[in-house]
């Protein structure tokens, strides 16, 4: 039996590229999102931004804060669209307790990494993150540039 696999990235709505630059990502968890109808339509049109979003806890629930979903101009007139509203994350009780404990006790931050479609559902990948210092960021950039230079050198040496 062969399963058809969708192209990687074809179901991605939004990415948070800054998260991996600013933080060490320790763990990744997939969560569902509680959305309104206009938000789903806007996300299908690709009008979502999660670059400054993170997770907050309130009354034993996890919420996505700072995500921007720009409403379409053809959205219904009787719905008041708030692009930056705080959206509830759908997580199991065990995942909630684990994240809450690590965020409060161990000093982790929980940031949004990517927003994507999984079948008909909008899912968000959140990461348990520790902040990077400036020298860590410089080291990461230096390593990335060295990898590029090494690939370039190898490519040119194979031509000869």
Within-domain flag for 78: yes
Report the candidate in 122, 120, 111, 112 with the shortest Cα–Cα distance to residue 39: 122
How far apart are the C-alpha atoms of 114 and 91, rounded to whole Å?
16
Q: Give, as one character, the DSSP assignment of residue 34.
A: -
Report the predicted TM-score, pTM, of the whole model to 2 decimal places: 0.70
Within-domain flag for 77: yes
Within-domain flag for 31: yes
Tell me the CATH number at 104. 2.40.280.10
Within-domain flag for 22: yes
Q: Which pLDDT does position 75 carry in this prediction?
A: 60
Domain count, the chain: 1
Q: Which pLDDT does position 68 carry in this prediction?
A: 85
Q: Which pLDDT does position 77 carry in this prediction?
A: 67
Q: Which pLDDT does position 10 carry in this prediction?
A: 67
Tens place of pLDDT per residue across the chain (160 aa): 444 444 444 688 888 888 777 787 888 888 899 888 888 888 888 888 888 888 888 888 889 888 888 888 776 667 777 787 888 889 889 988 888 888 877 778 888 888 888 888 888 998 888 777 776 678 778 888 888 888 888 888 877 6
Within-domain flag for 1: no
Distances (CA, A) of 109 to 38, 53, 56, 61, 67: 29, 11, 9, 16, 16
Residue ranges making up the domain that contains 68: 12-132
Q: Which pLDDT does position 2 carry in this prediction?
A: 41
């Amino acid at each position: 039996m062969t399963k058809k696999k969708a192209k990687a990235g074809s179901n991605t709505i939004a990415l948070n590229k800054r998260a991996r630059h600013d933080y060490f990502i320790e763990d990744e968890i997939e969560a569902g999102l509680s959305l309104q109808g206009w938000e789903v339509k806007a996300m299908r049109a690709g009008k979502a931004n999660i670059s400054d979003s993170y997770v907050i806890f309130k009354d034993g629930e996890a919420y996505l804060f700072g995500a921007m979903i720009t409403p379409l101009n053809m959205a219904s007139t009787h719905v008041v669209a708030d692009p930056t509203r705080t959206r509830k994350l759908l997580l199991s009780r065990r995942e909630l307790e684990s994240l809450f404990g690590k965020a409060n006790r161990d000093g982790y931050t929980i940031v949004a990494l990517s927003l994507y479609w999984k079948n008909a559902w909008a899912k968000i990948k959140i990461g348990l993150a520790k902040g990077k210092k400036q020298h860590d960021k410089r080291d990461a950039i230096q390593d990335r540039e060295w990898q590029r230079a090494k690939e370039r050198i190898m490519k040119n040496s194979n031509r000869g």
